[in-house]
A and B are shown apart, each in its own frame.
Chain A
Amino acid sequence: MNKTCIIIGREFSTRVRKKSFLVVTLVVPILMALFYAFLMWILLKDDTQERKIAVVNHSAIEAPFHQINNTTFETIDTEVTEASAPEFLAAHDYYAVIRLSADVMGQPEVPVYSFSQVPMDLKNEIALQLQNKIESIKRDSVIAQTQIPDLEEKLAATHTPVHIRTLKVSEETGEAKESSSEIASILGLAAGMVIYFFIFMYASQVMKGVIEEKTNRIIEVLVSSVKPFQFLLGKIIGVAAVGLVQFLIWVAFGLLLIVGMQAAFLPELDMEALRSAGNMAGDLTAIAGTEQLNAEQLAVIRNIAMTIDPAFILKFLASFLFYFIGGYLLYASLFAAIGAAVDNETDSQQFLTPLSIVLVVGLYIGFTAMKSPESPLVFWSSLIPFTSPIVMLVRLPFGVPAWELITSMGLLVAFFIFFTWLSGRIYRVGILMYGKKVTWKELYKWLKY
Chain B
Amino acid sequence: MPLKKLVHFHYLQRRTMSFFTARNIVKNYANHRALDNVSIDIPEGAIYGLLGPNGAGKTSLIRIITQITGPDSGELFFKGRPLVPTDMNRIGYLPEERGLYKKMKVGEQAVYLARLKGMGKQDAIRQLKAWFEKFGIESWWERKVEELSKGMAQKVQFITTVLHEPEMLIFDEPFSGFDPINVELLKREILELRDKGTTIIFSTHNMASVEEICSHIALINRSHKIIEGPINQIRNKYANNTYQLVCRYQPDFHPQEAIGTEFEVLSEKIEDGQHEIVLQRLEECPTNTLLRRLLDWTDIISYRKIIPGMNDIFIKLVKEKQ
Contact = CB atoms under 8 A, between A and B. Distances in A.
A165 interface: no
In this complex, which of A10, A225, A227 has the most chain B Cβ atoms within 10 angstroms of its Cβ? A225
B94 to A, nearest CB: 8
Interface in A209-243: 212-213, 215-218, 220-228
Interface stretch (B113-121, B200-208, B303-311): B113-121
A6 interface: yes
Given A7-B116, A432-B63, A216 B100 contact: yes
B99 A224 contact: no
Interface in B119-177: 157, 160-161
Contact of B68 (A212, A432, A434, A449): A432
Interface stretch (B85-93, B184-192, B267-275, B293-301): B85-93
Contacts of A221: 93-95, 98-99, 113, 157, 160-161
A-B pairs, 10 with minimum CB distance: A217-B99, A216-B99, A225-B116, A224-B93, A220-B95, A217-B97, A224-B66, A218-B99, A445-B30, A6-B115
A428 B29 CA distance: 13
A227 B85 contact: yes
Interface string B50-90: 00000000000001001111000000000000000100110
B97 A222 contact: no
Contacts of A6: 112, 115-116
A228 B63 CA distance: 13
26 contacts: A3-B118, A6-B112, A6-B115, A6-B116, A10-B112, A216-B99, A217-B95, A218-B98, A218-B100, A218-B101, A220-B98, A221-B93, A221-B94, A221-B98, A221-B113, A221-B157, A221-B160, A223-B68, A224-B67, A224-B95, A225-B116, A228-B68, A432-B63, A432-B68, A442-B30, A445-B30
A224 B68 contact: yes
A429 B113 CA distance: 22
Nearest to B30: A445
A145 interface: no
Contacts of A220: 68, 93, 95, 97-98
A227 B85 CA distance: 8
Contacts of A449: 29-30
Given A10-B112, A216-B101, A220-B95, A225 B117 contact: yes
In this complex, which of B63, B67, B99, B113 has the most chain A Cβ atoms within 10 angstroms of its Cβ? B99
B116 to A, nearest CB: 4
Given A6-B115, A216-B102, 13 more contacts: A6-B116, A10-B112, A217-B97, A217-B98, A218-B98, A220-B93, A221-B98, A221-B99, A222-B113, A225-B116, A226-B116, A227-B85, A449-B29
B53 to A, nearest CB: 19
Nearest to B85: A227
B17 interface: no
A51 B206 CA distance: 88
Interface residues of B, number: 31
Nearest to A234: B116
In this complex, which of A3, A218, A224 has the most chain B Cβ atoms within 10 angstroms of its Cβ? A224
Interface of B: 29-30, 63, 66-69, 85, 88-89, 91, 93-95, 97-104, 112-113, 115-118, 157, 160-161
A14 interface: yes
A326 B97 CA distance: 36
A425 B193 CA distance: 36
Contacts of B100: 216, 218
A223 B93 CA distance: 10
Nearest to B105: A14
Interface residues of A, number: 26
Contacts of A428: 69
Contact of B91 (A3, A217, A224, A432): A224
Interface string A397-416: 00000000000000000000
Contacts of B93: 220-221, 224
A447 to B, nearest CB: 11
Interface string A6-17: 110010001000
A70 B85 CA distance: 81
A255 B88 CA distance: 48
A401 B264 CA distance: 99
A78 B181 CA distance: 102
B88 A224 contact: yes
Contacts of B117: 225
B285 to A, nearest CB: 54
B208 to A, nearest CB: 26
A21 to B, nearest CB: 13
Interface in A421-449: 428, 432, 434, 442, 445, 449
A225 B113 contact: yes
B116 A3 contact: yes
A432 B88 CA distance: 18
B270 to A, nearest CB: 52
Contacts of A227: 85
A52 B320 CA distance: 102
Nearest to B117: A225
A2 to B, nearest CB: 8
Contacts of A442: 30
A217 B102 CA distance: 11
Contacts of B69: 428, 432
B125 to A, nearest CB: 14
Contacts of A228: 68
Contacts of B157: 221
A225 B160 CA distance: 12
A304 B69 CA distance: 57
Contacts of B113: 221-222, 225
A423 to B, nearest CB: 17
A281 B160 CA distance: 72
A122 B101 CA distance: 62
B117 to A, nearest CB: 5
Nearest to A7: B116
Nearest to A215: B99
Nearest to B91: A224
A220 B67 CA distance: 11
Contacts of A224: 66-68, 88, 91, 93, 95
In this complex, which of B67, B68, B98, B115 has the most chain A Cβ atoms within 10 angstroms of its Cβ? B68
Contact of B103 (A3, A14, A215, A223): A14
Nearest to A6: B115
A339 to B, nearest CB: 15
